[in-house]
Chain A
Amino acid sequence: MHDPPQNDVAIQFNNVAFQLEGGRVLIEGLDFSVRRGETLVLLGKSGSGKTTSLKLINRLLPLTSGEIRVEGCSIREWNVIRLRRRIGYVIQEVGLFPHFSVERNIGLVPTIEKWDEGRIRERVRELLSLVGLDSDFAGRFPRELSGGQRQRVGVARALAADPPILLMDEPFGALDPITRAELQREFLALQKRLKKTVVFVTHDLREALLLADRIALMEEGKLLATLTPEEFVRSKDSLIAAYVAAFATDMSALAKRGDS
């Protein structure tokens, strides 16, 4: 595998390591790049370091060694606030501000960036329709929304100031399977239109195969391989094949239960 040309790269990891204060190493020797406009899925079991890698990008966690470049610039050189406003961030728990209406939740960063009021209101309406919510949702509060609606608002909020990069940490993991499938489909449609650079964390192989342009498989803080979904399912590599088999067995086991 060779690196794509530099101007095509949105995020670059160079020999990245992260260890806790107690000395436990969570991530080691991580090298990969995310191309502009692609969806890279970080796939792995719990504790494989996917979420940690994601939080290193927007500096919610500090690098121990190595370098991460965002849009060609080392994240150490970025002003941390500017860096985070260039990067949308969506988490599984959503984390909507419970004391703000949907409109204020989505409009918070534009408000802080001193957009004028009319433009913010217009942007909120535009984003609500983008994530498939009616504009009457603007006045509602997070507690009045279902889980799926909350995550739609979470995505709209992350997109508010039109960041070129989106980090998503198991955004659909807490949803029921039907809502999850719906949001996955909409994510694909949205991504076709918006062409953001997305780093998406999941432990669900099906989700990874569905959403990824490329899958980066992680295990115990290391990167095992970066593959397209087709390469992933056809891989002869024993670890990857085991991963695929785990999901396949899972499915046939379920099917057998249904028969008996």
Chain B
Amino acid sequence: MNVWQFMLQNRTEVLQLTLEHLWLVGVSTVIAAMVGIPLGILITRWPGLDKPILGGANIIQTIPSLALFGFLLPAPWFGERADRMAILALTLYALLPMIRNTYAGIRGVDPAVVEAGRGMGLTDGQLLWQVQLPLALSVIIAGVRVAVVISVGLATIAAAIGAGGLGEYIFRGLAMVSNPVILAGAIPAAGLALLADFSLGLLEKRLQTQ
């Protein structure tokens, strides 16, 4: 039986696992954006905070993902359900690109534009919302794009702690030594990653030319 026959026969399960996968990635990306983008803004306002916060997010990024899932097992509330743990782990991994790109995007706005804005009497909030965020938006979206693509791949490992998603097929296929089953998880996951990369890439480009 090849991979396509397998996927066709199990199409409801493939769909189910794909939706679980999307759920893990979607929820963690939204939470990471809600935390990471404000943090990225904050460290442009508090010069002393940039190094510790970027450094912290960097350290999280270096923890091997299987180990991070393991570390989270004893965490209260999160440890109770596998999907909570998986979402927390994916959120932590997504933070770095969000924080770093928000910070870099805002810092990268032409200093003359910022000086003109301050000089004409914009408050810090007006400068942020009217000038800095719109001009940094394409860089921030590029960060979201990187985070999503990383998350789609990492979320396959969430199956190791029983959080579901397309990783189920990959781990099952590994146990059965069955390439079609591995591919039934890997192909849709790769497809999701490409689709996310392409669509967010388009959005990024559109914002750039504005």
Q: How many residues of chain B are within 8 Å of chain A by beta carbon?
A: 19
- Nearest residue (CB) in B for A158 is B120
CB <8 Å contact, B117 and A109? no
Q: Mark B124-157, 1 if CB is under 8 A from A, else 0.
A: 0010001100110000000000000000000000
Q: Which residues from chain A contact B116 at a C-beta distance below 8 Å?
A: 89, 91, 94-97, 154, 157
Q: Does A58 contact B (CB under 8 A)?
A: yes
A89 and B112 alpha carbons, distance in the complex (Å)? 12
Chain A interface size range: 20 to 34
Q: Mark B93-129, 1 if CB is under 8 A from A, else 0.
A: 0000000000000000010111111111111001000
Q: How far is the CB of B115 from chain A (nearest CB, A)?
A: 6
Q: Does A84 contact B (CB under 8 A)?
A: yes
CB <8 Å contact, A84 and B121? yes
CB <8 Å contact, B113 and A89? no
- Nearest residue (CB) in A for B131 is A97
Q: A94-B112, A95-B113, A95-B116 are in contact. Are A109 and B210 (CB under 8 A)?
A: no
Q: Which of B112, B113, B119 has the most CB of A within 10 A?
A: B119
A99 and B134 alpha carbons, distance in the complex (Å)? 8
Q: Does A85 contact B (CB under 8 A)?
A: yes
Tell me which of A60, A81, A91, A157 contacts B123 (CB under 8 A): A81
Q: A98-B113, A99-B210 are in contact. Are A84 and B119 (CB under 8 A)?
A: yes
Tell me which of A93, A99, A112 contacts B122 (CB under 8 A): A112
- Nearest residue (CB) in A for B122 is A112
Tell me which of A82, A96, A158 contacts B113 (CB under 8 A): A96
A-B complex: 6 closest residue pairs judged by Cβ atoms: A95-B116, A89-B119, A84-B121, A93-B112, A85-B121, A95-B112
| A-B residue pairs in contact (CB < 8 Å), sample of 25 | A58-B119, A60-B118, A81-B121, A83-B121, A84-B118, A84-B119, A85-B121, A88-B120, A89-B119, A91-B112, A93-B110, A93-B112, A95-B110, A95-B117, A98-B110, A98-B113, A98-B135, A99-B134, A99-B135, A99-B210, A108-B120, A108-B130, A109-B120, A154-B116, A167-B119
